Each structure stands twice: as structure tokens, then as C-alpha cells.
Amino acid sequence: MTWPNRLHGVLRAADVTRVNHVPDAGHAVLIDLCETDPNITTNVLTTEEEGLAIAAGAWLGGARSALLLQSSGVGNTVNMLSLSTLGRFPLLMLVTMRGEWAEFNPWQVPMGQATGPVLEAMGITVFCAETPDDLVETVEAAAALAFNADQQVAVLISQRLLGTKTW
């Protein structure tokens, strides 16, 4: 079983019923799995910060959600992250990384290097994963922390785990 299949199982086990995402090659298989799952409602976002508002509304309505995005999109969320930290509602973000392992696009490097520090500066707990087994275990722990302790958590999925992109 591939890591996206295993992550889908983790989301299901955590009772996530809403997955918000922007199109992303790193999350493509997981997105497809969620879109075909009758127990998960997916939302394609035009910008990442919409996912934070939807996550807040879902939680207020009694549902759990996850936000799938790329490191370059984290910069778009900074202002809206105050909603989750001040409102103290659970937030689970799965962030595919760019700008690190063998990156070919120099425009991805600055935000790739800043992603963890930016999230931490906004009060988000940040975990990193570099192997499929580490990723599954980390997302399980992150989901428990988010949904059981009303915390805001991001799991950074290493570009090394995703594979080198070529153009």
C-alpha cells in the first residue's frame, strides 16, 4: 500500500469528513482517494486561506477537516492562521514541500526554507516527515493532537519523500 493510501486511512480513522485542497501533484493520489470516498466531502480551493475558513466552519458544525497544500501556499495563509490560533479550533494541515531536496525552481526555495519558521511564528505546531512510515505515524500523531487537544498542527512532507521534480 502506498503512503497516500495509508494517509487516506489515517484521515478516515481520525473521522475527517472534509478535505480542502488546492491542486498539487504531491497530494494528487490522496486527493483522488478523498474525492472518490463517499464519506469525505472535498473542496477545491482557489486560494489556501479559504481552507482555513472552511475548517473553522466545519468544526463549528461538528465536522473534522484537513487542509492539503504546498509549501509555496503557506505564505498565502499567514493572515488567516490567526483565525485558528485565536479561535482555538483544531487545524490539521498536510504540507508538501518544495524548495528543498534537489529543487530545480529557484522561486520555490525562499518559501520552502521559510515554511516551518513561518508556521511556528503563527503558533502552529510543526512536524516533519521524510519517509513513508514516518509520515503515516506523524500524521496519526498530528491528527490526535489537533482533534483531541484542539491544537493547530502542520505536517511538512519532505520533498525527498515526494521525489525529485524535473521540468
Domains in the chain, ordered, with CATH?
3-162 (3.40.50.970)
Report the percentage of the chain scoring pLDDT > 70: 98
* Rounded Cα gap, residues 72 and 33, in angstroms: 23
Sheet holding 16-21, edge to edge: 41-44, 16-21, 64-70, 91-96, 152-157, 125-129
> What is the model's pTM?
0.96
Q: Is the pLDDT of residue 1 over 80?
A: no
8 A C-beta contact, residue 63 and residue 17: yes
Q: What is the pLDDT of residues 9-43, one digit of tens each?
A: 999 999 999 999 999 999 999 999 999 999 999 99
Q: What is the pLDDT of residues 107-126, one digit of tens each?
A: 999 999 999 999 999 999 99
Query: What pLDDT band is residue 76 in, cutting at 50, 70 and 90?
Result: very high
Q: Which amino acid is at 107?
A: W
pLDDT at residue number 167: 67
* Rounded Cα gap, residues 3 and 30, in angstroms: 9
pLDDT at residue number 7: 97
Q: What is the pLDDT of residues 123-165, one digit of tens each?
A: 999 999 999 999 999 999 999 999 999 999 999 999 999 887 7
pLDDT at residue number 36: 98
* Rounded Cα gap, residues 143 and 63, in angstroms: 13
pLDDT at residue number 138: 98
pLDDT at residue number 46: 95
Provide φ and ψ at 17, rounded to 5°: -115, 0
pLDDT at residue number 101: 85
Q: Is the pLDDT of residue 62 over 70?
A: yes
Q: Is the pLDDT of residue 166 over 80?
A: no
